[in-house]
Amino acid sequence: MKTLKHFDIVKMPIITEKATSVTANAQYTFEVALSASKPEIKEAIEHIYKVKVKAVNTLISKGKNKVFRGFQGQRSDTKKAYITLDEGQRIDMSTEL
- Whether pLDDT at 54 is above 50: yes
Give the pTM. Answer: 0.84
* pLDDT beyond 60 at 51: yes
Which residues are within 8 A (CB) of 67 and not within 5 positions of it... i.e. 6 or more apart?
A: 73
User: Into how many domains does the chain fold?
Assistant: 1
Top pLDDT among 22 and 54 is at 54
Asked if the model's pLDDT at residue 58 lies above 90, the reply is yes
**81 in any annotated domain:** yes
User: Could you tell me whether strands 27-32 and 10-13 are parallel, antiparallel, or unpaired per DSSP bridges?
Assistant: antiparallel
Range of the domain at 40: 6-66+73-85
The pLDDT value recorded for residue 3 is 63
Three-state DSSP at 78 gives strand
CATH number assigned to the domain comprising residue 50: 3.30.70.330
pLDDT of the residue at 2: 58
Query: pLDDT digit string (tens) for 10-32?
Result: 999 999 999 888 888 889 999 99
